[in-house]
Amino acid sequence: DTGVSQDPRHKITKRGQNVTFRCDPISEHNRLYWYRQTLGQGPEFLTYFQNEAQLEKSRLLSDRFSAERPKGSFSTLEIQRTEQGDSAMYLCASSLGDPQPQHFGDGTRLSIL
């Protein structure tokens, strides 16, 4: 079990730039989730994939955000025209499905200058 892997661990960018994060789930897991965690808060659900299908998006996911999981394996989360409020830790998790628990990666910390 190699665990959930996220890349990069830390991204610093200027306001207005586009950024893309990658998540590699545990290999046999068909479900993949993205969460956002701001300082001092618990993670908040952003979106969810079952295999390659994106089944739900939170209201937190504005039009500037897009997520893909093209072959049902790794996933990418892109933020266009970044804003100060996008600064957060972006966490990816995967699971085999209910009632199996979600396993989290170490996250990508985004800092907007």
Partner 1 sequence: AQSVTQLDSHVSVSEGTPVLLRCNYSSSYSPSLFWYVQHPNKGLQLLLKYTSAATLVKGINGFEAEFKKSETSFHLTKPSAHMSDAAEYFCVVSATNDYKLSFGAGTTVTVRA
CA distance 104 to 66: 20
Give me the 14-33 binding string for partner 1, x by CB under 8 A, dash otherwise.
-----------------x-x
CA distance 101 to 88: 23
- Least separation, in Å, of the C-beta of 28 and partner 1? 17
- Least separation, in Å, of the C-beta of 21 and partner 1? 13
Which of 18, 34, 19 minimizes the C-alpha distance to 75?
A: 34
Which residue in the set 48, 61, 75, 77 belongs to the binding site for partner 1 (CB under 8 A)?
A: 48
- How far does the chain reach from its first CA to its final CA, in angstroms? 36
DSSP state of 22: E
Residues engaged in binding partner 1 (CB under 8 A): 4, 6, 31, 33, 35, 40-45, 48, 56, 91, 93, 95, 98-99, 101-107, 109
